Amino acid sequence: MNMLFSIIWFVVIFSVVVTSHEFGHFIVAKAAGVRVKEFLVGLGPVLFKWKKGETTYKICLLPLGGACVYDGMDDLEDDVIMGTEQTEDPGEVKDRSKFLHASPWVKFAILIAGPLFNFILGFIVAFVMVNMIVIREPVITELIEGGAAESAGLLPGDKIIAIDGETIYLYDEITVYTSLYNGGEVLITYERDGQRGNVVMTPLYDEEYGRYLFGIINDTYVEELHGTDAFRYTWYEMRYNVRMVWKSLGGLLTGRLSRQNVAGPVGVVNMVGDIIEETSPYGWETVLVNMLNLTLLLTVNLGVFNLLPVPALDGGRLLFVILEILRGKPVPAKKEAYVHLAGMVLLLIIVVIVFFNDLHNIFM
């Protein structure tokens, strides 16, 4: 039963995140007069489909992705895969309702809208979370005896406001820092009785947690919001999640994070199951807050990931649009399509690797 609930939660969360992304592309394309032939949520066999106006809407079996198929794009992909060639009359007036013939600024707006709508969804989710009072400020409520913070002279009640010069607003930002810590001294800026001070500490490795720790505990939450507090803390939550995703990507590239820190769909389903098991004794509100937190992480993750300058992703396509703006003319559509096809193959290989990595992390 727990596995069933895990799968249901995963399907709901991932479908909302993916639909938000594709809806961003869709609504801006429609507003700009670019025809959208298909709007897909999910991959694989089609479960439901209907047509309204010029667009066919499809809901597919696997909630692992989605797509907006613009007019002309599927023909180009068929040409690349089949090795055929379409000829154009040089004197023919370009049909601006086709994505390939739209102005570069229109294409830029359509492509950037997907990640942007992920961040908009994230802001909405973060706002709901903040109003459910789940905020922890970086205030020390207890020191671990013999820990790095105690040795450095920090005291309960001290508020950490910066780590190595980077301002922090939430206690969870400390956890992200220690997860990516790679040795050496750490400069801590704190506030005590309205006065700021600095100390230098060296985090200590903890065998139980398998990482370095500051040796501090925070078990208090912001109890009441006033005025614009909800919007301020919502911004802090968004900032924290974007920075966490970005730094985690950097940690994977530099080797500071291992494959155990990477999760694909199977890993996320397993994560959902763990969250349900651990939080259900505390009531449905606690479960809901944690699911909202996971939704926030996934939507920010999708937004940031799609902005990477990788072929086949929005970021890779944006590079070609920027190049078109700088050159004053587009890169030949077929050459661009070959690049994105190669990127798609690479992404599929990564998906397979992540799938087996999930199985390894769960069963090994």
pLDDT per position as a tens digit, 308-335: 998 888 999 999 999 999 988 888 878 8
Q: Is beta strand 166-167 parallel, antiparallel or unpaired with respect to 159-163?
A: antiparallel
Report the C-alpha gap between 217 and 237 in whole angstroms: 20
192 contacts: CB under 8 Å, gap ≥ 6: 155, 157, 158, 159
Closest C-alpha to 312, from 348, 285, 281, 282: 348
For 213, the 3-state DSSP assignment is: strand
Give ∠ CA 118-123-126 in degrees, rounded to 5.
Answer: 120
Q: Which of 84-98, 124-138, 158-172, 178-192 has the lowest mean pLDDT?
A: 84-98
Q: Which CATH superfamily is domain 138-220 in?
A: PDZ domain (2.30.42.10)
pLDDT higher than 70, residue 256: no
Question: For the chain, how big is the Rg over CA atoms in Å?
Answer: 24
Report the C-alpha gap between 313 and 351 in whole angstroms: 14
Q: Give the start-to-end residue ranges of the domains of the chain.
A: 138-220
More confident residue, 33 or 43: 33
Contact between 305 and 350 (Cβ < 8 Å): no
Question: Which 8-state DSSP code applies to residue 187?
Answer: E
* pLDDT confidence tier of residue 342, bands split at 50, 70 and 90: confident
Output the pLDDT for position 286.
Answer: 83
CB crowding 264-290: b at 16 or more within 10 Å, else e: bbbbbbbbbbebbeebeeeeeebbebb
pLDDT above 90 covers a percentage of the chain that reads: 41
Global pTM exceeds 0.85:
no
Output the pLDDT for position 81.
Answer: 47
CB atoms within 10 A of CB 187: 13
259 contacts: CB under 8 Å, gap ≥ 6: 357, 360, 361
Q: What is the dihedral of CA 294, 318, 32, 302, to 10 degrees?
A: -10
pLDDT higher than 60, residue 74: no
Report the C-alpha gap between 364 and 351 in whole angstroms: 19
Two tokens, residue 131: 């109003």
End-to-end CA distance of the chain: 23
Tell me: the pLDDT tens digits for 91-116?
445 666 888 888 999 999 999 999 99
- CA 332 to the chain's CA centroid: 31
- CA 143 to the chain's CA centroid: 33
Q: Which of 223-227, 240-244, 285-289 has the lowest mean pLDDT?
A: 223-227
* pLDDT confidence tier of residue 360, bands split at 50, 70 and 90: low
Output the pLDDT for position 151.
Answer: 92
pLDDT higher than 70, residue 291: yes
More confident residue, 66 or 182: 66
Question: Which residue is associated with the tokens 């790679």?
Answer: 182
pLDDT higher than 90, residue 26: yes
For 160, the 3-state DSSP assignment is: strand
Two tokens, residue 80: 């690349």
2-32 vs 265-279: helix crossing angle, rounded to 10: 120
Query: Where on the phi/psi map is residue 174: left (φ > 0), alpha (ψ -120 to 50), or beta?
Result: alpha
* Residue range 228-245: mean pLDDT, rounded: 91
Output the pLDDT for position 222.
Answer: 83
Contact between 21 and 117 (Cβ < 8 Å): yes
Report the C-alpha gap between 336 and 322 in whole angstroms: 13
pLDDT above 70 covers a percentage of the chain that reads: 85
pLDDT higher than 90, residue 337: no
Average pLDDT, the chain: 84
Output the pLDDT for position 363.
Answer: 62
Written as one string, the DSSP assignment of 34-87 is --EEEEEEEEEEEEEEEEETTEEEEEEEEEEEEEEEETTHHHHHHHHHHT----
